[in-house]
Amino acid sequence: MHPAPSIIAFTTFSGLGFGLLFWLGVDPTPPKGWVAFAFFCIGFALAVGGLAASTLHLGRPERALKAFSQWRSSWLSREGCCAVAALGAMGGYGACLIFAGLNIAPLGWLGAALSLLTVFTTSMIYAQLKSVPRWYSRWTPVLFLSLSLAGGALLSGRVIMAMVLMLIAGGVQIWWWHRGDGALRASGTTLGTATGLGGRGEVRAFEPPHTGTNYLLREMVYVVARRHVLKLRGLALILMLVLPVALLLLPFHHISAALAVLCHIAGVLISRWLFFAEAEHVVGLYYGKR
Amino acid sequence: MTELPATSTRKLGLVIDLDTCVGCHACVISCKGWNTENYGAPLSDQDPYGGDPSGTFLNRVHSYEVLPDTGPAQLVHVPKSCLHCEDAPCVTVCPTGASYKRVEDGIVLVNETDCIGCGLCAWACPYGARELDAAEGVMKKCTLCVDRIYNQNLPEVDREPACVRTCPANARHFGDLADPDSAVSRLVVARGGMDLMPEQGTRPVNKYLPPRQRDAWADTSVLAPFLTPVAEEPRGFLGWLDKALDKL
């Protein structure tokens, strides 16, 4: 799949933002006043910035509001509705903390649950697609949720929790990559089933329908940079897991903590780039590109 | 709502005969011609006369080579457009309700004034039947020429999809696949019509008729013994060059 920067930014930053909002929501002793202002600003900037980035992907962004209407059937619509509900709840909870120093814990819990639900619905946009076997797995929501919780813990300054969750997310990530590498083969979809000619012998793409490219090839048959996959996976793991944990093990300092956050974000961005760039849509079979 | 109808009384669709399709692409051209100037936004082209042309098409013809274990290879042309699936994954993923499957005839359509161009339906379709128009920013797909098949202003002979009307090999057939007595249903039964990617669980309405068995490959030619390579291993200067290059 085409790794569009707008979608990579959307999933990465909204995941981090809602992760941070989750930890703020469940905190029994949440920050108040200016400290709360800073934390909620970061959370909202990431979450809203990510959601805004996603609209850059649309062909007709001026109609984006219509996307809230189909929550009964569409995960993308559910994601939009959950995000607005989560931001509403966390906005109310945060405003009370910032301006009144008032901790309305149940509102925080509600906001935290909605934040996690938003990350889950985001992941289901991809995990529901049977046409992309690498994504079509219950492990895709696990990956998104574990990365979101780990990033949120890191941003909210929970050192031990962040280290543990980053290790868990790293493990899920390695398993997700391993499962994904065999997913297309395991799906049973081949050029033989795609053309219905598989029972007659080996099927080879002889002539494409056109000499140039098209929307399908640009959007769903992305094959660039596959050969650097192992290096990129290693780099992603080092940046999102090894370096942040090492930096957190050092005596606490604001600079090392900030570095840990930046490393983690860079690692998740690489992991998310791979999430799209590596994903094989079965339509590529018709073009002999799998 | 983007929920799928539980049942549709009629299932209008195409039956495409892979045995008779000659791969002339006339259906591609007539589809583009009709659909660019009728229902919905035109099918735009980008850089059509330049070095890197591309454009929106609702129907494309692929060509495949089938290599059986024995016998000659066979070239098969596979025209591919929307299969108007009964479990259409493109419909349920739509966040705006722009994509829908009609209860009355099972045609899958896009309401272009509601489409936000998110592209998720094109991702959900395993067949690549949907293309986002680069000029209009909305999703385009085969309408089964919904503006022809019910069009009282056209002569009756023209009230079928443009691709079917134009096919010079008569490889494309249009009809109601829910009616077991319709011409297309009988054709499917007689010729063993098949689904594309049945394992994706989309239950396509459109069916493909497999190519018939070809005549057997004739016995080996009498000239064959004279066609064996004369020199198996390079000798002399070429032999030396081969070894020298290997050592580099």
Q: What is the pLDDT along chain B (248 residues), one digit of tens a residue?
A: 567 887 778 999 999 999 999 999 999 999 999 999 988 899 999 999 999 999 999 999 999 999 988 888 899 999 999 999 999 999 999 999 999 999 999 999 999 999 999 999 999 999 999 999 999 999 999 999 999 999 999 999 999 999 999 999 999 999 999 999 999 999 999 999 999 999 999 999 999 999 988 766 666 677 777 777 766 777 788 888 888 888 87
Q: Do A286 and A164 sit in the same domain of this protein?
A: yes
Structure tokens at B1: 């709502």
Mutate to test the interface with A, among B63, B67, B116, B140 (most CBs of A within 10 A): B116
Do the Cβ atoms of B95 and A69 come within 8 Å?
Answer: yes
- Domain total of chain B: 1
In a domain, B240, yes or no: no
Distance CA A175, CA A233 (A): 12
Instruction: Strand B172-176: give its sheet, edge to edge.
Output: B172-176, B12-17, B207-209
Nearest CA distance, A56 vs chain B (angstrom) = 9
- Residue B61's domain comprises 12-209
Does residue A148 fall inside a structural domain?
no
Judge whether B139 and B132 are in contact, CB under 8 Å.
yes
Domain that holds residue A268: 158-290
**Do the chains contact at A129 and B53, CB–CB below 8 Å?**
no
**A-to-B residue pairs, Cβ atoms closer than 8 angstroms:** 201
Kindly state whether residues A117 and A240 are assigned to the same domain: no
Which chain B residues contact residue A135 at CB under 8 A? Answer: none
Q: What's the rounded Cα separation, in Å, for the pair B139 and B100? A: 12
Instruction: Tell me: do A226 and A124 sit in the same domain.
Output: no
DSSP H stretches of helix in chain B:
26-36, 89-92, 120-124, 146-149, 162-166, 183-191, 236-247
Is residue A153, in this structure, part of any structural domain at all?
Answer: no
- Tell me if B51 is assigned to some domain: yes
| Residue A250 burial by Cβ neighbours in a 10 Å radius (0-12, 13-18, 19+) | exposed
Q: Among A26-30, A80-84, A142-146, whose mean pLDDT is lowest?
A: A26-30
- The total number of structural domains that make up chain A: 2
Within 8 A of B114 by CB-CB distance, chain A residues are 63, 66
**Which of B87, B197, B217 to mutate to test binding with chain A, by most A CBs within 10 Å of its CB?**
B197
Q: Do A59 and B115 touch (CB under 8 A)?
A: yes
Nearest CB neighbour to B118, from listed A76, A193, A202: A76
* Domain assignment of residue B235, yes or no: no
Cβ-nearest to A58 among B74, B116, B199 = B116
Do both A164 and A239 map to the same domain?
yes
Q: What is the model's pLDDT at position A224?
A: 66
B117–A59 C-beta distance less than 8 A: yes
Give me the pLDDT at residue B2, please: 64
The answer as to whether A72 is a domain residue is yes
Q: Which residue of A has its CA nearest to B45?
A: A214
CATH of the domain at B205: 3.30.70.20
CA dist., res. A132 & res. A188, Å (int): 12
* Closest chain A CA to residue B49: A212
Average of per-residue pLDDT across A141-163: 95
Same domain, A222 and A279: yes
Number of C-beta neighbours around residue B186 at 10 A? 14
Specify whether A195 is located in the same domain as A272.
yes
Kindly state whether residues A119 and A17 are assigned to the same domain.
Answer: yes
- For residue A140, the model assigns a pLDDT of 97
Domain shared by A12 and A79, yes or no: yes
Strand (E) or helix (H) holding B10: none
- Distance (Å) from the alpha carbon of B136 to chain A's nearest alpha carbon: 8
Claim to verify: residue A122 and residue A180 sit in the same structural domain: no
For residue A219, report the phi and psi dihedrals to the nearest 5 degrees.
-85, -35
The model's pLDDT over A180-221, given as tens digits with 9 standing for 90+, comes to 999 999 999 999 999 999 999 999 999 999 988 899 998 888
